[in-house]
């Protein structure tokens, strides 16, 4: 019996909570999507896949790349062509086509004129998957899109297309199918469940690709966090601290990068690391824990060099132009001094200058 791993591509390069009608528009993966592809590669690469078939759209090719075998691009696995809606945010669609959009509540398969129907997707996908199976042996992966997977799973499970919406998988997840003459659904909506080791965190950091300066800064903050943790006479989860420190600035190029970076880690299934990352820019707690150490380590590093708190905060104060920014700066400095005093007091020496 063969296994088919039916994978939905990672999150495309648009905001986390955006609601985009993304059909044939060729959008690459964003940082979260690249990290999801990395996780899929780490989780599935050792399964002995003999072939990887993928949609030719960039987001699928990039998701397929870490899986091992060179992807075989199959045009019939491309996403549903949504015609005039393709690539638009659904807010804009609702404004420009209010009547048609309103009808979708009772007609879930309704598409605009010129778009491809889900039935048309089903007709091209079934023979394409059969060809993928016939042209390969052993276990394979198929990297495709939400509508493609929905149509295929509806056929496999004998569910009418009108009732198949729940079969659409999340980004970066997969369904496992068994093939014994026919296809059978084994498990659905699986996400890679891998321990967040420092080695995996380093791979995720590189996949996110935040830029060389951020990479250097993240590694310097990690070294500083471990230096502080090793000096403290207390029990700490240094593996969690190291992993979170490596990943704390994955969203550095975005507004509210600490909150967004934490949201990405929660999407990947790592809530403990996400909690530390969310607090690394603005720590309001009183406990001396891993989050506090990541916070102070970040404040001890400018670019990739250790500096004193006074020097670090003097540099950042120059960029505070509004009363709100100055108040936030003062709050962060007070938190850093509080943590500094606790650490130096516990250690009986000046661990943090």
Q: What is the CATH number of the domain that holds 63?
A: 3.40.50.1240
Residues 232 and 158 in one domain: no
Residues 170 and 63 in one domain: yes
Average pLDDT value over all residues in the chain: 94
Residues 90 and 205 in one domain: no
pLDDT at 317: 64
Residues 128 and 10 in one domain: yes
**For the chain, how many structural domains are there in total?**
2
Q: Which residues span the domain enclosing 83?
A: 2-190
Residues 157 and 274 in one domain: no
- Mean pLDDT calculated for residue range 215-225: 97
Of 123, 155, 190, the residue at which a domain comes to its end is 190
pLDDT surpasses 80 at 187: yes
Is residue 329 assigned to a domain?
A: yes
pLDDT surpasses 70 at 269: yes
- For every residue of the chain, which 3-state class applies, written as one string? CEEEEEEECCCECCCCCCCECCCCCCCCECHHHHHHHHHHHHHHHHHCCCEEEECCCHHHHHHHHHHCCCCEECHHHCCCCCHHHCCCEHHHHHHHCHHHHHHCCCCCCCCCCCCCCHHHHHHHHHHHHHHHHHCCCCCEEEEECHHHHHHHHHHHHCCCHHHCHHHCCCCCCEEEEEEECEEEEEEEEECCCCCCCHHHHHHHHHHHCCCHHHHHHHHHHHHHHHHHHHHCCCCCCHHHHHHHHHHCCCCCCCCCHHHHHHHHHHHHCCHHHHHHHHHCCCCCCCCCCHHHHHHHHHHCEECCEECCHHHHHHHHHCCCCCHHHHHHHHHHHHHHHHHHHHHHHHHCCCCCC
Is residue 353 assigned to a domain?
A: no
pLDDT surpasses 80 at 321: no
pLDDT at 326: 75
- Mean pLDDT calculated for residue range 52-77: 97
Residues 159 and 247 in one domain: no
Is residue 6 assigned to a domain?
A: yes
pLDDT surpasses 90 at 322: no
Beta-bridge partners for 2: 179
Residues 219 and 336 in one domain: yes
Residues 205 and 274 in one domain: yes
Is residue 139 assigned to a domain?
A: yes
pLDDT surpasses 80 at 335: yes
Residues 147 and 221 in one domain: no
- Mean pLDDT calculated for residue range 289-314: 92
pLDDT at 56: 98
| CA nearest neighbour of 275 among 284, 150, 172 | 284
Of 190, 225, 257, the residue at which a domain comes to its end is 190
pLDDT at 347: 93
Is residue 109 assigned to a domain?
A: yes
Q: How many CB atoms lie within 10 A of CB 165?
A: 14
- Mean pLDDT calculated for residue range 292-311: 93
Residues 232 and 111 in one domain: no
pLDDT at 284: 87
- Mean pLDDT calculated for residue range 244-267: 96
Is residue 352 assigned to a domain?
A: no
Residues 29 and 177 in one domain: yes
Residues 123 and 169 in one domain: yes
Is residue 96 assigned to a domain?
A: yes
- Mean pLDDT calculated for residue range 205-231: 97
Of 163, 190, 217, the residue at which a domain comes to its end is 190
Is residue 213 assigned to a domain?
A: yes
Please write the tens of the pLDDT for every residue from 105-127.
889 899 999 999 999 999 999 99
């Amino acid at each position: 019996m063969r296994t088919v791993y039916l994978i939905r591509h990672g999150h495309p390069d648009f905001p986390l909570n955006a609601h985009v009608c993304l059909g044939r528009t060729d959008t690459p993966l964003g940082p979260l999507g690249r990290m999801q592809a990395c996780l899929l590669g780490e989780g599935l690469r050792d399964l002995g896949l003999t072939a990887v078939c993928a949609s030719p759209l960039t987001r699928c090719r990039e998701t397929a790349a870490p899986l091992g075998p060179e992807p075989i691009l199959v045009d019939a696995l491309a996403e549903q062509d949504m015609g005039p809606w393709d690539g638009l945010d659904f807010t804009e669609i609702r404004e420009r086509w209010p009547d048609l959009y309103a009808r979708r509540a009772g007609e879930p398969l309704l598409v605009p004129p010129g778009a491809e129907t889900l039935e048309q997707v089903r007709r091209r996908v079934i023979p394409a998957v059969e060809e993928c199976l016939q042209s390969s042996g052993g276990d394979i992966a198929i990297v495709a899109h939400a509508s493609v997977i929905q149509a295929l799973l509806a056929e496999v499970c004998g569910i009418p297309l009108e009732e198949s919406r729940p079969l659409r998988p999340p980004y970066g997840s997969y369904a496992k199918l068994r093939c014994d003459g026919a296809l059978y659904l084994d498990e659905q909506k699986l996400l890679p469940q891998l321990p967040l080791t420092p080695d995996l965190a380093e791979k995720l950091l590189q996949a996110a690709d935040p830029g060389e300066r951020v990479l250097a800064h993240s590694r310097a903050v990690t070294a500083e966090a471990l230096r502080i943790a090793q000096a403290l006479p207390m029990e700490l989860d240094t593996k969690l601290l190291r992993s979170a420190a490596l990943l704390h600035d994955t969203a550095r190029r975005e507004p509210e990068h600490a909150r967004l970076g934490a949201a990405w880690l929660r999407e990947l299934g790592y809530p403990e690391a996400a909690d530390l990352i969310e607090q690394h820019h603005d720590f309001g707690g009183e406990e001396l824990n891993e989050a506090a150490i990541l916070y102070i380590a970040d404040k001890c590093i400018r670019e990739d060099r250790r500096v004193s708190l006074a020097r670090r905060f003097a540099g950042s104060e120059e960029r505070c132009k509004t009363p709100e920014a100055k108040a936030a700066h003062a709050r962060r400095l007070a938190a850093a001094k509080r943590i500094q005093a606790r650490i130096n007091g516990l250690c009986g020496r000046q661990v943090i200058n």
